[in-house]
Amino acid sequence: MKNYSCENSNSCSLVSVTEISGNFSCTDSESLSCSDKHSKVLSGSSNDCTQCSSNSSESTYSDCTTNKTTNITSCSSSESKSCTKNNCELVSSNICEKQCKKNCEKLVKKYNCSKEELLAISDIIIVLNFIKNKIIAVQPNIDLRNVSKYSVIDNINWIECFIDTLFCVLRKNEAYKVIKVKDCKVKNDPEIISDNRTYLIKIKYCTKTNGETCKNIPLLFQWSQLTNNDAKSYKAILNYVVKQLDDYIKGYQAASTIPFLC
């Protein structure tokens, strides 16, 4: 803070309180006191050091001590009112179409009749996603296993043991709301070392409208398509199973929207 020499103690007290640095000095002979000059500097009315100009969209602040100019852009009140008015007019111009109560009740009734079917579809999708995600998650372990050190049949048995475990978990799962899950591991031809394996997912549920319903979802492991005894070849077979699961999931997701269609 700079010192200011003034004969008038009242005017200098303002300088010490506001702590504004500057080189201001005055004498009794001056027509403008220090306090008055400070007031004008603070209010932006002094022609010596501060100039302000404004319009509806932009304000300019000039400081002669730093030779810097700052532009502040703002929206005028008239523009804001205009924007708000236009928005209100846009909203008020939209006229709601009158809904038919009978049609709405009919659609809701149709949905309620399909509620058990929708719950079953939801459970089926959970089952399929569980298998799909586990088959994707296990693939790094195939990379870690040095499959070339084992025979093809040993590697197939190792992977199928993993799939068997998944189906054991699915059979014991009691979290399903509607469905019951069983599986069938189709027996391979013993004379064919790398015969294709089929896992058949059997799902059963009951609805009031259709009674007992059974769904059979086959998963085909095409071991006969193995090109080499390496990790890449085994993962290619598993990815084909993942593709089958994706197709089933998309189909059941589409089926779950049927009650919403007129």
The count of structural domains within the chain is 3
Mean pLDDT throughout 205-213?
Answer: 87
CA distance linking residue 221 with residue 243, whole number of Å: 11
Residue 219, pLDDT > 80, answer yes
- Radius of gyration from C-alpha coordinates of the chain: 41
Evaluate whether residue 102 is within a structural domain.
no
Asked whether residue 84 falls in the same domain as residue 213, the answer is no
Q: Is the domain of 5 the same as that of 66?
A: no
pLDDT at residue 106, rounded to an integer: 79
The answer to whether residue 17 scores a pLDDT higher than 80 is no
Please check whether residues 215 and 247 belong to one and the same domain: yes
pLDDT of 134-173, one tens digit each?
Answer: 999 999 999 999 999 999 999 999 999 999 999 999 998 8
Q: What is the pLDDT of residues 184-197, one digit of tens each?
A: 999 888 778 788 99
The DSSP bridge pattern shows strands 211-221 and 180-185 to be unpaired
Pairwise pLDDT comparison (246 vs 103), residue with the higher score: 246
In a domain, 240, yes or no: yes
Q: Can you tell me the distance from the alpha carbon of 10 to that of 193, in angstroms, rounded to the nearest whole number?
A: 108
Q: Examine the domain organization and report whether 158 and 28 are in the same domain.
A: no
Question: What pTM value is reported for the model?
Answer: 0.62
Q: Flag whether 14 is in a domain.
A: yes
In this structure, are 127 and 192 located in the same domain?
yes
Question: Do 204 and 132 share a structural domain?
Answer: yes
CA distance 213 to 251: 17
More confident: 221 or 65: 221
Sorted by sequence, the CB contacts under 8 Å of residue 111 that are 6+ apart come out as 259, 260
Out of 54-58, 179-183, 192-196, 230-234, which region has the weakest mean confidence (pLDDT)? Answer: 54-58
